Structure 1
Amino acid sequence: MHNRDYLDLGQLFDHIFEATEEFANTFGDLGFDFRKSAEHRNYYSLYSFPPANIYMMPDKTIVFEFALAGYRDTQVSLEFSGDYMVLSAAEPEACANADQVIFFHRRLKLKEIPPQKYYVPEDKFDREQAKAVFRNGILKVTVPSREEVRNPGGMKIKIVSDED
C-alpha cells in the first residue's frame, strides 16, 4: 500500500470562498457588483467535518444538525461566545491507535473537532431557550428566534416638541 496525504477539500474551499469574497468586495467598491443580496449571504463556514445541516424553520428558529457518529455526548462541547455558537469535540477513544492500523477502505474518520464557529447573533436569537439533543449520532441544536429583535437598527431616540 502507498501512504498518501489527502487534501482537506472543505478547508481548501473555505480559502477559495474567502478569496472570492475579498475579490467581490474589492471590485464592488469600484462599481462592479458581484455580491449577492444580504438575505442570501452565507454566514456559515463550510467545515468539512463533521457533516452538518443548517436551516431555518418558518417560525425563524434556526436548526443545526451535526453528524457525530462514534462520539459520545460527553466528548462534545457546545457554547455561545459573542455572536457565535462554538462546537468542538474530543477525539473518540476508538481511534486513538488509528496510526497503527492499516486501512483498506477509509471513509469514516473519527478525529478531534477543533472549535468551529457558527453565526447565531444574540440580538436575533434567544440563546437561553436553545436546546441540544444528541440521538443516534446526530446532534440537533435548535435556537428559537427572539419575539422582539434587540436593537434592530440601533436605539430609538424620542423626539420631543419644543413648541409652546
Structure 2
Amino acid sequence: METFLLLGANLGDRVTTMGRAVELIAQQVGKIIRQSSLYETAPWGVTEQPSYLNQVLLVKTALAPQPLLEHTQAIEYELGRVRLDKWGARLIDIDILYYEQQAIRTETLSIPHPYLHLRRFTLMPLMEIAPHYRHPVLQKTTQELLNECPDTSDVAIFNF
C-alpha cells in the first residue's frame, strides 16, 4: 500500500532529527519511493514558536492504517517527541496525509489528514512529489488544492 507522510520538526537539531526520522521510517514502516526537499515553514495554528522544517514522503508499506499510526508514533517517541500542546513546538511530528485512496475516520485516526488542504506547509512539499495526486474526498489534485489554499504563510525550500 502507498501512503504519504508529512514530517515536521522545529526544536533541536531539525536537520538531524528529520534525517533520523526518514531512516527509521525506511527501517520500520516501508520503502521510501519518493521524498520532497526539506522546506522551511512558518508555524501554523500556534504562531509564537520557531519555524519548522517539513518534508513529505511517499512510502510503500505493508502496514494497515492503525498499525501505521502506531509505528509512526513510536518513531516520534524514539526521537524524543512529547505531546503537550496541540500545534505546539515539537522535536518531530509524523502525520499520515493519505493511505491509498481510503477515507478513514475513527477516534484515533483521520485519513486523509483533515487539515491537509488548508496548509501550505503540507501542500508545497506534496506538490513537489505528487502534483496530480487526487484527494479521495475533495476530488481535487494537489495542484488544485494548493491553488485554492487559504493559507498564505511562508514556505520555502530549506538551504542548508
State the structure with bigger RCO (CA 8 A, min sep 6), 1 or 2. Answer: 2
The alignment's TM-score, normalised by the length of structure 1, stands at 0.22
Q: Please, what TM-score do these two structures have when normalized by structure 2?
A: 0.22
